[in-house]
Chains A and B, each alone.
Chain A
Amino acid sequence: MVLAERENLLAAGHRACPGCGAAIALRQILRALGRDTIVVSATGCVETFTSPYGMSAWEVPWIHSLFENSASVASGVQAALEFLQEKSSVVVISGDGGTFDIGMGAMSGMFERKQNITYICYDNEAYMNTGVQGSSATPYGSSTTTTPAGRASFGKIQHKKDMPAIALAHDVDYVATASIAYPQDLMKKVAKTKEIYGPKYIQVHTPCTIGWGFDSSKTIEIGKLAVETGLVPIYEVEKGKPMVVKKVKNKKPVMEYLKFQNRYRHLLKGEQKDIADQIQAICDKNIERFGI
């Protein structure tokens, strides 16, 4: 992999919260992609904090129109480039809400058409831009403003949707998960998409200080813990090759991860503590299923 030496394509002066994981993801993704890239984004935190009119942070061509259509806009961009016989990479960068929920139909359509587009979901596990409401990427037991913990609630009842599996079911050419806490792995995966013609899906775990409730200096630490506990499996599936999984030598109990975050605070004590055990069971299942 040849990456331009520390090329920075996200200009300073953007308005993400201090310690924003999504902003870190953008910098790493753009570094791996390089300048010959057109980015299509959905409405969400990234769109809002990078694009105040006249003060865009993007140093590659970038287009946003709506919340639920970035895969379709990308389809048009890619068709136009094909018509013009130009070869720039077309990359979607959309949040989990724009991917798992409202934009899933459009993404499915793009996958099915087998268009040469890389779809990257930055997954901060809720609708952050509108005030931390639950999405189908919000994990089990976590409290958001629409899945709040309370006397009769332990937070989100449903499990996180397995979006990479849905992408795989479309027989796409490349599916990977990654985390901003492992930048070399992330950048390698993103760079690889440039070599593969067809639809690709990468889901990047991006801790959010505001929505998850942790100190702004801990973004990377939290990201690492998510992986080290087995809660967020990191893997890639290249068409026709066996799955490659990031192994974790010394696995940590999930409580190490939960205890740092306000969204899980209600699970640390009292009656709802068994929910934490259930989350540990999710980790154990992941560890077994993926061979972490």
Chain B
Amino acid sequence: MSTISVIEGSMAVAQAVKVCRPGVIAAYPISPQTHIVEFLSQFVADNEMDTKYVRVDAEFSAASAVYGSSATGVRSYTASSSQGLLLMSEVLYAMAGTRLPVVLTGVNRTVSAPITIQPDHQDTMALRDTGLIQLHVESSQEAYATHVQAFKLAEDHDILLPVMVCMDGWILTHSFEPVKLEDQEKVDEFLPPFVPKYRLDTKNPLTYGAYADDEVPEFRLMMHFAQDRAKEKIKKIAREYEAKFGDYFGGLIDTYRCDDAEIIMVAMGSVIGTLKDAVDKLRKENIKVGVLKVRSYRPFPGEEILSAVKGAKMVAVLDKSLSVGQGGPLATDVKAAFASKQAPPVLGCIAGMGGRDMSMTLIREIIEKSQKAIATGETPDTEYIALKRQYLE
């Protein structure tokens, strides 16, 4: 029987990782990821998990250690945030390139400078091109489910890529919510033990990390193909999870009141819950709005997004990060997916960077800007929402 407990988002992740039975965990503390790894350390200390916990000297070593353990054929997990994720980045490229199915939690927090521990998506965006699969979650319950799904996805022999579950720091990791925790036996049925395609083994000596001069384009392309295959797998695994445990949070995307919506807000992560509440309010005022959640950022579900928003008059894409010199990365991807297709105009909205609160006023600003663009027929490329102009120099 599953149980429902009111727990921190970090505990939801730790509980999910625990039932996935990783053989090796290596991690290094950074706010707001700390509680996850503290809980896991305690599980190991209490013998609630049969896991080797490698307490490392830096995130660079954390990623490197799970690189090594995964290549040795053992299910492996790590977690980090912000500066820590960036310190891992060199290893993450190598991990994806070596096709090691590590699961990691990317606890979203902005990146220095200026230093702050507030959440936004700047950190995981910087890892966009590593080859990692990136799944964003909106709630603790979804974080729980997505971690369990992530191991299944990563370890599938058609995929074999690291999967990063992205969740907003503090907003999700440090808030208490009722979370349904699943039975170990049921999870074991859903997620069988890891069967590596190859591994470091003295009985069959293989070379990992060879020097390749001529083959690089093809190896990179094969990662791309694997991400393409992951599109179907992500959807399938989400449905399998639903069949087993009764919960569904979307596949590549999820939609809320989009069917007849004139304005559709596209976003990722914890803001989705806030947006859904806002949609309900705005609908009462006869404003036809809907929300589209991008659950899988990599692989990027351009086609799914397009077919879900086709009927709308305006697509407002919310980005919690800024690709300096270009604009919002999510908006950029949506625009690229819509290019030369029959699609509604796209309004990029930078909102919620550095943890700036996503209030109802702010959402109204997005809606008003969208309505104005519809009325004038002119859609600005990017709007900066709730900007405090007094700080601009």
For the complex formed, measure the closest distance between the CB of A144 and the CB atoms of chain B, giving whole angstroms. 23
Say if the beta carbon of A65 comes within 8 Å of chain B: yes
Of B24, B50, B61, B91, most A-chain CB atoms within 10 Å: B61
Say if the beta carbon of A68 comes within 8 Å of chain B: yes
User: How many B residues touch the partner, as a band?
Assistant: 35 or more
The answer on a CB contact under 8 Å between B72 and A53 is: no
Say if the beta carbon of B1 comes within 8 Å of chain A: no
A71 to B58, CA, bound (A): 12
Q: Which of B61, B71, B94 contacts A106 (CB 8 A)?
A: B61
- Which residues of chain B are within 8 angstroms of A40 by Cβ–Cβ distance? 68
The answer on a CB contact under 8 Å between B64 and A66 is: yes
The answer on a CB contact under 8 Å between A48 and B211 is: yes
- Which residues of chain A are within 8 angstroms of B54 by Cβ–Cβ distance? 75-76, 79, 113
Q: List 10 A-B contacts (CB under 8 A).
A: A38-B202, A47-B211, A53-B215, A62-B207, A63-B200, A69-B60, A72-B62, A73-B65, A83-B23, A113-B55
Q: Which of B50, B51, B91 contacts A66 (CB 8 A)?
A: B91
- Which residues of chain B are within 8 angstroms of A74 by Cβ–Cβ distance? 68
Contact with B along A20-61 (1 / 0, CB 8 A): 000000000000000111101100000110011110101111
Q: Which of B60, B206, B211 contacts A72 (CB 8 A)?
A: B60
Closest to B66 in A: A76
A164 to B82, CA, bound (A): 35
Contact with A along B203-238 (1 / 0, CB 8 A): 011111111111100000000000000000000000
The answer on a CB contact under 8 Å between A61 and B74 is: no
The answer on a CB contact under 8 Å between A63 and B209 is: yes
The answer on a CB contact under 8 Å between B61 and A109 is: yes
Q: Which of A52, A59, A62, A83 contacts B208 (CB 8 A)?
A: A62
Contact with B along A104-118 (1 / 0, CB 8 A): 011011001100000
User: Which 3 A-B residue pairings sit nearest by Cβ, starting from the closest?
Assistant: A76-B68, A109-B57, A76-B65
Known: A62-B208, A64-B209, A83-B24. A73 touches B64 (CB 8 A): yes
- Which residues of chain B are within 8 angstroms of A71 by Cβ–Cβ distance? 61
15 more A-B residue pairs beyond the given contacts A63-B71, A76-B26, A105-B58, with a C-beta to C-beta distance below 8 A: A35-B202, A53-B215, A62-B206, A72-B61, A73-B65, A75-B56, A75-B61, A77-B71, A79-B74, A80-B52, A80-B76, A81-B72, A83-B50, A105-B61, A113-B55
Say if the beta carbon of A101 comes within 8 Å of chain B: no
Say if the beta carbon of B73 comes within 8 Å of chain A: yes
- Which residues of chain B are within 8 angstroms of A63 by Cβ–Cβ distance? 68, 71, 200, 207-209
The answer on a CB contact under 8 Å between B208 and A109 is: no
A84 to B194, CA, bound (A): 12
Q: Which of B24, B65, B205, B214 contacts A61 (CB 8 A)?
A: B205
The answer on a CB contact under 8 Å between A51 and B56 is: no
Say if the beta carbon of B90 comes within 8 Å of chain A: yes
Closest to B209 in A: A64
- Which residues of chain B are within 8 angstroms of A78 by Cβ–Cβ distance? 68
Known: A76-B68, A76-B76. A64 touches B208 (CB 8 A): yes
Closest to B57 in A: A109
Known: A74-B68, A112-B57. A36 touches B202 (CB 8 A): yes
- Which residues of chain B are within 8 angstroms of A51 by Cβ–Cβ distance? 207, 209-211
A36 to B73, CA, bound (A): 17
The answer on a CB contact under 8 Å between B94 and A66 is: yes
The answer on a CB contact under 8 Å between B67 and A76 is: yes
Say if the beta carbon of A82 comes within 8 Å of chain B: yes
Say if the beta carbon of B185 comes within 8 Å of chain A: no
Q: Which of B51, B69, B95, B206 contacts A77 (CB 8 A)?
A: B69
Say if the beta carbon of A88 comes within 8 Å of chain B: yes
A52 to B66, CA, bound (A): 24
Say if the beta carbon of B382 comes within 8 Å of chain A: no
- Which residues of chain B are within 8 angstroms of A84 by Cβ–Cβ distance? 23, 72-74
For the complex formed, measure the closest distance between the CB of B201 and the CB atoms of chain A, giving whole angstroms. 6
- Which residues of chain B are within 8 angstroms of A47 by Cβ–Cβ distance? 209, 211
Say if the beta carbon of B98 comes within 8 Å of chain A: yes
A80 to B311, CA, bound (A): 52
The answer on a CB contact under 8 Å between B72 and A52 is: no
Known: A36-B202, A76-B24, A77-B200. A65 touches B61 (CB 8 A): no
